[in-house]
Amino acid sequence: MSSCSWRVRTCLNWKGIDYEYCPVNVLEGSQNKEEYSEINPYKFVPTLKIDGVILNQSVAILEYLEETRPEKSLLPKDPYKRALVRSLVQAIAGDIQPLQNLRPLQYIESTGGNKTEWAVYCITHGFEGVEKQLAKASGKYCVGNEVTLADLCLLPQVYNANWFGIDMAKYPLIQRIANDLSELDAFKKAHPQNQIDCPDKEKNKNLRAFI
Amino acid sequence: MSNEKPILHSFYRSSCSWRVRTCLNWKGIDYEYCPVDLPEGAQKKEEYSEINPYKLVPTLKIDGNVLSQSIAILEYLEETRPEKPLLPKDPYKRALVRSLVQAIAGDIQPLQSIKALQYIESTGGNKNEFAIYCITRGFEGVEKQLAKTSNKYCVDDEVTLADVCLLPQVYKANRFGIDMTKFPLIQRIANDLSELDAFKKAHPQNQIDCPAEEKK
């Protein structure tokens, strides 16, 4: 259900990299156990073991995969276009998702706050900027007509927005691009409902990625 | 590339602006500083949101382009001005740098940004406690990663984008009164970085929009 894990799964699929899936049950706190924090000091998912090294932080992993497996590239060649892609990546992976991640939601709830209202506020505020940037940058996908790292980050965030009941009619570009991305094999295969740790009762439901 | 002097829209106390100022200084790029008064809401005005759809700082106009999001700007500067690099050559080391960048610029700073804290306060929450919680939890992970990757600086012995992100976050931690004795590596590296010219020149207190009463 993790947005960050979903991004990396999509990238691995996109580049045709076969991998072994090792579930980490974040709802039960598996990420907080000592042995996991030895490989991921942030106690987050995903962690990727590849090429004899251990990588954490999804965006760092995406950039590593892009640099070491440049075929089926997910970044344009032009530096300005790359900056557009990365600004959308940061807008989503930096300015939206971490704010509606499990950890801050649990904290807000523990102090008597309304975690759903907080999440709706963060996503809505973030999507306003993303929609505005897409109005200038997008073609078939987020930046121009090729799938990029921005698209990998967009789709999981839209699923979260749907789960929180956000009115997506205000974000037609985001919704249209997400719909088109969800038809692509690499994205479909990476969907939470197609993972081995997705409970049976969650398959074929409106599942969210919420961390 | 355009010969026009780059223009940086910045707020003196903004961590994200500070990162870009440091990078510009590090690479010897002269620029014009254009203050954006965040507490007054200048970033929400229509003319600003035309150049930065996120209504955030910084925005950098350079090479005839308008760039937003500090990390995207840092990577752009690194790719277009590779002299005095801020990323190692080895892909794994680059990934280590970027994971620290994301840990700070993604997982800590946005949660204690002005926007986030204003919302927490508006709903009756304690914004200081929230900021302290977010920074502390984030620093726990950063300190643990630095134990494996750092030497003189965040990753080995050369200044990287991770260092560019670290110092402003330590400044914020100090403003919130966080006990930094729990994070000795972070503090030691921050102390060393604050002695470097590029970082000094980028410090909030050395910016033209820093109020006189906040300068030392």
Give the domain CATH number at A183.
1.20.1050.10
Looking at the structure, tell me whether residues A115 and A49 fall in a common domain.
no
Give the strand pairing for A53-56 and B7-10.
unpaired
Tell me the pLDDT band of A206, cut-offs 50, 70 and 90: low
Task: Choose one of A71, A102, A120: the last residue of a domain.
Answer: A71
Amino acid letter for position B7: I
Whether the predicted pLDDT of A202 surpasses 80: no
**Average of per-residue pLDDT across B194-200:** 98
Cα(B94)–Cα(B96) distance, integer angstroms = 5
Instruction: Please report whether residue A197 resides in a domain.
Output: no
Same domain, A182 and A109: yes
Which of A42-46, A129-133, B19-23, B201-205 comes out lowest in average pLDDT? Answer: A42-46
How high is the mean pLDDT of chain B? 95
Interface test with B, best of A90, A123, A130 (most B CBs within 10 A): A90
Query: What is the C-alpha R_g of chain B?
Result: 17
pLDDT band at residue B216, thresholds of 50, 70 and 90?
Answer: low
Within 10 A of B202 (CB to CB), how many other CB atoms are there?
A: 24
CA neighbours closer than 13 Å in the CB half-sphere of residue B32: 7
Enter the tokens of residue B190.
């921050």
> What is the ipTM score, two decimals?
0.96
B192 pLDDT above the threshold of 70: yes
In a domain, residue A206? The reply is no
Question: From the candidates B14, B23, B54, which should be mutated to test the interface with A, based on the most A CB atoms within 10 A?
Answer: B54
A contacts of B91 (beta carbons < 8 Å): 64, 67-68
Cβ separation of B145 and A42 shorter than 8 Å? yes
Asked whether residue A208 is assigned to any structural domain, the reply reads: no
What are the backbone dihedrals phi and psi of residue B34, each rounded to the nearest 5 degrees, phi first?
-120, 105
Span A28-80, pLDDT tens digits:
777 777 888 888 888 888 999 999 999 999 999 999 999 999 999 999 999 99
Average pLDDT, stretch A132-156? 97
Based on the number of CB atoms within 10 Å of its own CB, is B83 exposed (0-12), middle (13-18) or buried (19 or more)? exposed
Instruction: Tell whether the model's pLDDT for residue B1 goes beyond 60.
Output: no
**Which residues in chain B touch residue A64, judged by CB atoms under 8 angstroms apart?**
91-92, 94-95, 98
| pLDDT interval class at A199 (50, 70, 90) | confident
Please report the pLDDT score of residue A93 as a whole number.
96
For residue A32, the model assigns a pLDDT of 79
Statement: residue A205 has pLDDT above 70: no
Q: Which of A51, A56, A96, A134 should we substitute to test contact with B (largest number of B Cβ atoms within 10 Å)?
A: A56
- A204 domain-assigned: no
From the list B53, B70, B75, the residue facing A133 with the nearest CB is: B53
pLDDT band per the 50, 70, 90 thresholds, residue A187: very high
- Portion of chain B with pLDDT greater than 90, in percent: 82
Average pLDDT over residues A192-198: 87
List, in sequence order, the alpha helices (H) in chain A: 3-14, 34-39, 58-68, 79-93, 102-110, 115-137, 149-163, 172-181, 185-190
Side chain identity at residue B130, one-letter code? F
Is residue A211 predicted with pLDDT exceeding 50? no
> Residues B198-214: what's their mean pLDDT?
96
Per-residue tokens: B52: 């930065």
Among A71, A103, A120, the domain boundary falls at: A71
Q: How far is B53 from chain A (nearest CA, A)?
A: 5
What residues have CB less than 8 Å from B126, skipping those under 6 apart?
A: A111, B120
Q: What pLDDT digit, counting tens, does each position of B95-146 carry?
A: 999 999 999 999 999 999 888 888 888 888 899 999 999 999 999 999 999 9
In the block, which residue shows the tokens 């996109």?
A: A14
Test B73 with A67 for CB contact under 8 angstroms. no
User: Within this chain, do residues A56 and A108 fall inside the same structural domain, yes or no?
Assistant: no
Q: Do A86 and B63 touch (CB under 8 A)?
A: no
CATH number at residue A31: 3.40.30.10
Torsion of CA B11, B16, B18, B21, to 10 degrees: -100
Q: Is residue A211 situated within a structural domain?
A: no
pLDDT digits (tens, 9 = 90+) for B34-49: 999 988 888 888 889 8
CB-CB under 8 Å, B141 with A41: yes
Whether the predicted model's global pTM rises above the 0.80 cut: yes
Q: Are residues A134 and A176 in the same domain?
A: yes
**Nearest CB to A103: which of B98, B123, B137?**
B137
Residue B215: both structure tokens together: 């300068």
pLDDT of residue B45: 87
Q: Residue A210's pLDDT band (boundaries 50, 70, 90)?
A: very low
Q: Are residues A181 and A86 in the same domain?
A: yes
Rounded-to-integer distance, Cα A13 and Cα A74, Å: 12
For the cut 70, the answer to whether the pLDDT of residue A208 exceeds it is no
Q: Domain range holding A38?
A: 3-71
pLDDT of residue B51: 87
Distance (Å) from the C-alpha of residue A187 to the closest C-alpha of chain B? Answer: 23
Residue whose token pair is 């076969």? A18
When CB atoms are compared, the residue of B53, B92, B144 closest to A41 is B144
Same domain, A33 and A117: no
